[in-house]
A and B are shown apart, each in its own frame.
Chain A
Amino acid sequence: MRREGVFRGRPGAQQLARVRDAFNRDRSLFLGGLLLGLFLFCAIAAPLIAPYDPVTADASSGLLPPGAAHWFGTDQSGMDIYSRVIYGARLDLLVAFAGTTLAFIVGVPLGVLAGFYRGLPSEALMRVTDLIQSFPLLIIAMAFVVLTGQSAVNIILAIAILNAPIFLRLVRSSVLSLRERTYVEAAICAGNTEARLLYRHILPNATSGAIAQASVTAGWAILLTAGLSFLGIGVQVPTPEWGSMVNVGAQLMITGQWWVALFPGLAISFAVLGFNLLGDGLETRLGNAS
C-alpha cells in the first residue's frame, strides 16, 4: 500500500506521513526509542544544558521549591536538582549500559555452548547459574558491593554477574530447539565445521530473544543502581545519581519538600519505561523477522 503521490503540494506532509507510519507499525519501539533518546541526549549534552554545576553547594539556596531560577528546586545543600537530574543520567545510563553489555557478552556465548554441547561441562555451568539465581537479587548485589567497595565499577560487575545467567538460560533454550532444525543439519552437510556452525548459523538465530531481554535488563539495572544508592551503599555523595537523590529526598517528604525526591524518581520511572518499551518493540520486530 504505497502512499507516495497521495500528498500533493504540502512539502513536509510526506515526511510526516512516513513518521506516522513508522509510529503505527512499531509503537513501543518508537516511544521507547524516543524516551531513551531524550535521556541519552541529557547524558551527552549535560555540560551544555545544565544551568548549574551539579556538585557546587550553595547553602544559602537550600531547599528552594521549583521556581524560575531553579526549575526543579534545590536540595539541602543548595544544589540545583534540575542540573543534578540531567547529570544523573550519565551515571545511571552508563552503569546500566555497561552492566547489561557485560552480562550479554558473557551470558550469550556461554548459552550457545551450553545449549549445543551436552555433557558434564554444560551441566556444571547450569548448576553454577542455578546457584547464582537462587539468591534474592538485591541481597547478592548488596553483599557484593559491600564486600568489594562502593563504586560504579563494582555496581557494573554486580549487574553483570546477576544477569549473565538470565541471558545464558534464554539463549540456551533457544539453541536447544535450534539444534534440531533442518537448516543446522543442512549446514553440517554443506561442510561447516562446528565452530562456524555455532558462529554463523546458531548464534544469529538465537540472539533475538536476548536482545529484547537486554533492554529489560538495562531498565532493571537502573533500578538496582537506584536501589543500592537508596540504601546508602551505592555511589557516594555528592555524585549526582537518581537513586541517592531519592534517598536524600525521601526523608524530606514528610516535612513537605516534595520536589527533592519526586523529580529524580520520575527520571528513574521514565528511563525504566523507555527501556521496557524498547525491549517490547524489539521483541515484536525481531520475532517477526525470524
Chain B
Amino acid sequence: MTALLSVEDLRTSFFTRKGVVSALRGVSFEIGRGEIVGLVGESGSGKSVTAASILGLVRPPGRIVGGRILFDGRDLVTSSEREMRHIRGRQIGLVLQSPRTALNPLLSVGDQMVNIYRAHVRASRQEAWAACLAMLEAVGLSDVERRARSYPNQFSGGSAQRVLIAIALLCNPKLLLADEPTTALDVTIQAQILRLLQDSIARTGSSALLITHDLGAVAHFAQRTMVMYRGEIVEQGPTLSVITDPQHPYTAALVAASLPGTPPGH
C-alpha cells in the first residue's frame, strides 16, 4: 500500500535582506495510512517549516525551492492555491499550539466550526450545527449546546485545545498535523489531550504527524519518530528504538537531556 504522505528531498529557504536561510535542506519521509509519526526537534530545527511547507503556507520571503510532497498521489508543491484550499481543512487537518491565536475571538465557537464545515461540505446550517455538536462531544466536552454558543475566551486552555482538535477533525481529514499541541498546556492536561488525539485518530483511521520538541510527547503516542536538526532529518525509525538505541549523536544528546536518569544523591 502506498504511503499517504511522501515527502521527497524537500527544500525550503527564506530569502532575507541579510542573506539566505535554508530552513529545510532535503527532508524526506513517509507517513502511512493510519500511522502516527512524531517529528521531534528543537527551535530552529525546521519542524514547523515542514508543516507549513506541506500545507503550502510558506510565505515570502520564504518559499519551497525543491523536492516533492506527494499527498495521496498529488504533488502539493506544484498544486495551485485553489487546490490547496480544498486540501487544507478537508484532507489535512491542523492543530496548533495556541488556541488563543487560532480561534477568532469575535465569533462563537459553534459559528466558527459551522463556517469551516460548510466551506468544505455541502450541508444546511442545521446539519452543520449538528455535526459540530457531535464533534465537540467526541472530543470530550460536556454541555456542548452551551459550549458551542460560547466564545473562545470563555474556554480554559485545555478545553480550547479540545475545540481545536474538534475543528481539525471536523471534515474527517486523512492526515492530521499537530504542531506542539500540548506545549502550552498544564502537565495534568497534556496527557489527557494526547490520549484524546490518539483515540480520535484511531477511531477515524486517519494518520497524524505529531510535531514537538518534547520526546515525552511522542514516546507513548507515536509509532515512528523522526528527529530533526538544522533542517535535516538525522534519524528516523520506530519510536522505541530511536529513544532506547539512538544512532545519531544529536539524537543521543536529546535523549540524554530528556531522560536525566537518576538524580545525584539518590
Contacts and interface: CB of A to CB of B under 8 A. Distances in A.
* Direct contact between the two chains A and B in their complex (CB within 8 A): yes
Interface of A: 1, 25
B19 A25 contact: no
A1 B17 contact: no
A262 B254 CA distance: 71
A254 to B, nearest CB: 51
Nearest to B18: A1
Nearest to A24: B17
Nearest to A25: B17
A1 B21 CA distance: 13
Interface string B1-43: 0000000000000000111000000000000000000000000
Contacts of B17: 25
A25 B18 CA distance: 10
A25 B16 CA distance: 12
A147 to B, nearest CB: 50
Contacts of A1: 18-19
Nearest to B17: A25
Contacts of A25: 17
A1 B18 CA distance: 8
Contacts of B19: 1
Nearest to A1: B19
B21 to A, nearest CB: 13
Contacts of B18: 1
A75 B19 CA distance: 55
A224 to B, nearest CB: 37
3 contacts: A1-B18, A1-B19, A25-B17
A140 to B, nearest CB: 40
A245 B18 CA distance: 47
A232 B18 CA distance: 52
A259 B215 CA distance: 77
Interface in B225-255: none
A1 B15 CA distance: 13
B20 to A, nearest CB: 9
A241 B18 CA distance: 45
B265 to A, nearest CB: 30
A97 B146 CA distance: 62
A27 to B, nearest CB: 12
A5 B17 CA distance: 21
B81 to A, nearest CB: 31
Nearest to B19: A1
B207 to A, nearest CB: 41
A1 B20 CA distance: 10
B8 to A, nearest CB: 31
Q: What are the 3 tightest A-B residue pairs by CB atom distance, in nearest-first order?
A: A1-B19, A25-B17, A1-B18
Nearest to B20: A1
B16 to A, nearest CB: 11
A128 to B, nearest CB: 36
